[in-house]
Chain A
Amino acid sequence: MATKKVIETKNLSRTFNTGEIEVRALTDIDLVIEEGEFVAIMGASGSGKSTLLHIIGCLDRPTSGEYYLDGIQVNALNKNQLADIRNQKIGFIFQSYNLLSRTTALENVELPLIYDRTGQFSNSMALAKKALEQVGLADRIHHKTNELSGGQQQRVAIARALVNNPALILADEPTGNLDSTTSFEIADLFVQLNNKGKTILMITHEPDIAQFAKRMVYLRDGRVLSDTKIEHRNTKTEALKSLEKPLTTQ
C-alpha cells in the first residue's frame, strides 16, 4: 500500500572527532522507509544504532549525505527548524520513558502541543485524552506519573508520541526497562498502532521484540548488514506462550 517515503537517506555518514582519532559511526547509509511500515533496527552496541536514531530524529546532523523526512530535506535546516520538525513530524519514545514526575498523565501527553507553532491543535486537552484512550489508559488520565507502573508509564510516553499525529514514531529501546510480559504488551501496542497506519521505527536489543515488526534492519560497524522483510511476525499470544516453556527447551 505504501508509496510515500517517510524516510529517505542517501549516502548518510556521520563521523565524530574525538581529539586526534576520527570515529566513523555511520558510513553510507541508504535507507528508505515508506508510510505504514514498522521497522526494527538491531545491532550490537557501537554498531551505530543510536547515532542513526539521533539523525533520523533530527537531534543530530549527518557529516555528509542527504536525509529527507516526509519529503523535507532535513540536513540543511537550522536548530530552530529542526526543533519544529521534531515537534511536527516525530513522536519520540525513550527507554526510560522520560516523563515529568509529579505531573499527571494528561499534562505529560499535552507537552508536545505546548511547543507547537503551527496553531493546528486548538484543543490540546481533548487530543491528549484521545491519545491516552488509544494506548488504553483512559482511566489513568489524572494519575501522576510516579503513581503508575513501568508499563503504564511507557504507555503515557507512547500517547505523548501520538498526540501531535506525527509522520514517524521513533522508539529507542522502548521495552528495555520492562519485564517480558509488559514488553510484549507494549510491542503489541506498536503493532496495533501500525495497523492503524502509523509508521514506526524501533531500535531494540531483543530479537523477540524485533520480530513484532514487518521489517528488520541489522547494523554492524556503522553499515547496513542486512535489511529483510520479517516473514514470521511475532504476536502477543505466541510470545506469551513461549514464556511458559521451560528455559532448557529454548
Chain B
Amino acid sequence: MVRFLKIFKVAFQSIYKNRTRSLLTMLGIIIGVGAVIMTISAGEGATMEVENQISGLGTNLLMIQTKSEHKAGINVRMGRPIDHKDLEVLQKNSVWMPRLSPLLAIGAQAIGPSGYKSTMVYGVSYDYFYITSRELQSGNFFTEEDVRTAKKYCVIGETIREELFPGQDPIGKQIRIDKIPFTVIGLLTEEGTGGMQDMDDIVLAPHTTIQNRLYGHQRGYTMIMASALSEDHISDAKMEATALLRESHQIKAEDEDDFEIMTQVELQEITSNITGILTILLGAVASISLIVGGIGIMNIMLVSVTERTREIGTRLAIGARESDILTQFLIEAVVLSLVGGLLGIVLGVIGNQIIYRLTDFFIPTAFYSIVIGFCFAALVGVTFGYFPAKKAAKLNPIDALRYE
C-alpha cells in the first residue's frame, strides 16, 4: 500500500510537471463528459416539459377514439366512427364521467384583420373547458345555449391573438375560418410552448357550428373527451365507457373493441417512452465524443511513452519492476481521465445554466448523467490508458537507456 502511494505520487508529479500536455490530454474527456451531461439533461428537460403539458390537460382525462391502425405509415381508421349517438349513450348512462365533450379537429386558415395563420380548429362543447381545465384571460366561454344554437362564436389562444390581432384586444372582433366569419368571445390564458405542440395555437368553437359549417360531409367526431369523477376513478370510467360503447355498437362478446380509450396515464407513458428513446439517442451521440476523447488520451500517452523512453529505462535500471511502470502509467491515465471527468461535469453544469439563461428552456442537470459521465470517463481512462502503459512496461531496459 505504501508502495502504491509512492507510485501514485510519482504519477501525480509526472502529470504536474507536464501541465500543458496533461491539460491537452484531458481536453477530449472534458468535452466528452460535458457533452454527455448536457445532452442527457436536455433530453430530461424535454421529457419534463412534455409531461408537464400532458398533466396540464387534466389528470383525469379520457379520450375515446375510433380504433385506428398503422398501415404503411399512416393511421387508418377501423370500424365505426365515434359520433353523436355514442356521446348521447355516454351522457345518458355514465356514472363515472360527469363531463363529456365531442371534439372535431380540423386544420384551417384563420384570417384576422391584421394577419392570418394556419391553425387547428376544435369543435367542442361547453364541458371541454372543464375537462381540459383551461382558463380565460378575458371574455367568456361559449355557453351550452350557444352550442345548441350553433353560434358562430370562437375562443382563441394567445398565439392566434399575436398573429391576428397584434397588440389589440380581440374580444368582439371577427375572424374568418375558411371564409366563415366567427366572433371572438374569449381569449385563453397562456399555457406555454415547447414539447409536442403549442397549446396556444388553437381556436375553439361550438362543435355544432363546426359540424354544420366546416365538417359537413364527414361523419362522426375526431374523439370524445371526458373527465372521470376523480383521478382514482379513471379505470372505472374506462371500463364503464367500454361497456356502454360495446353495447351500443352491438359488439359480440368474442369480438374486439372497434374504438380506443386512452387515459391521461397511458398518454404520459407513451410520451415518456418516446422522450426516453430520445434521451438515450442523444446520450449515445455524446458518448462517441467521449470515445474520441479516450483515443486522444491513448495517443498522447503513447507519444509520452516514446518521449519518456529513457526515463522508463532509468527507472527499470534502478530497480522498478514492469508492474511498477505499468501501475505508474495507468495511474497517470486514470487520474487524467478522472480530473478531465470532473472538469467535464463542471462544464456540463455551467453549459446547462448558460442554455437556460439564453433560451429559457429549463434543463435540470440529471444526477444520473453526472454518474454516467464520470464512470464513462474512468472507464475510458483505464481502457485507453492500458495499452500505452503496457507498452511502457514492456520496454527492454537496455534499449530504453540507449534511446535518443
Give A contacts to B, CB under 8 Å. 54, 57, 59-60, 79-80, 83-84, 86-88, 92, 94, 98-100, 102-103, 107, 111-112, 114-117, 160, 164
Residues of chain B lying within 8 A (CB to CB) of residue A94:
314, 317, 401
Q: How many A-B residue pairs have CB under 8 A?
A: 66
The 7 A-B residue pairs with the shortest CB-CB distance in the complex, in nearest-first order? A87-B319, A98-B314, A83-B321, A112-B318, A115-B319, A86-B319, A102-B17
- Are B321 and A115 within 8 A (Cβ)? yes
| Contact A83 to B320, CB < 8 A, known contacts A60-B398, A114-B10 | yes
Known contacts A87-B318, A98-B313, A116-B319; 5 further A-B pairs (Cβ under 8 A): A57-B317, A80-B323, A84-B319, A98-B401, A115-B324
Label chain B's interface by main secondary structure.
helix
B373-404 CB mask vs A (1 if < 8 Å, else 0) is: 00000000000000000000000011001000
Q: List 5 A-B contacts (CB under 8 A).
A: A59-B317, A79-B321, A86-B319, A99-B314, A115-B324
With an 8 A cutoff between CB atoms, is B6 at the interface?
Answer: yes
Instruction: Tell me if B319 and A112 are in contact (CB < 8 A).
Output: yes
Q: Is the CB of B319 within 8 A of A83?
A: yes
Asked if B315 is at the interface of the complex by the 8 Å CB criterion, the answer is: yes
CB distance from B244 to the nearest CB of A (A): 83
**Given A83-B321, A114-B6, A115-B321: A59 touches B315 (CB 8 Å cut-off):** no
Of B10, B318, B322, which contacts A92 at CB under 8 A?
B318
Q: In the bound complex, what is the Cα–Cα distance between A60 and B396 (angstroms)? A: 9
For A83, the chain B residues whose CB sits under 8 A away are 316, 319-322
B176 CB–A CB distance under 8 Å: no
The answer to whether A80 and B398 touch (CB under 8 A), given A98-B314, A102-B17, A114-B10, is no
Name the residue in B319, B397, B401 with the highest tally of chain A Cβ atoms < 10 Å from its Cβ.
Answer: B319
> CB-CB < 8 A to A112: which residues of B?
318-319
A80 touching B322 by the CB < 8 A rule?
yes
B17 touches A86 (CB 8 A): no
Q: How far is the CA of A114 from the CA of B8 in the complex (A)?
A: 11
Rounded to whole Å, the gap between the CB of B98 and the closest CB of chain A is 81
Q: Which residues of B contact A57 (CB under 8 A)?
A: 317
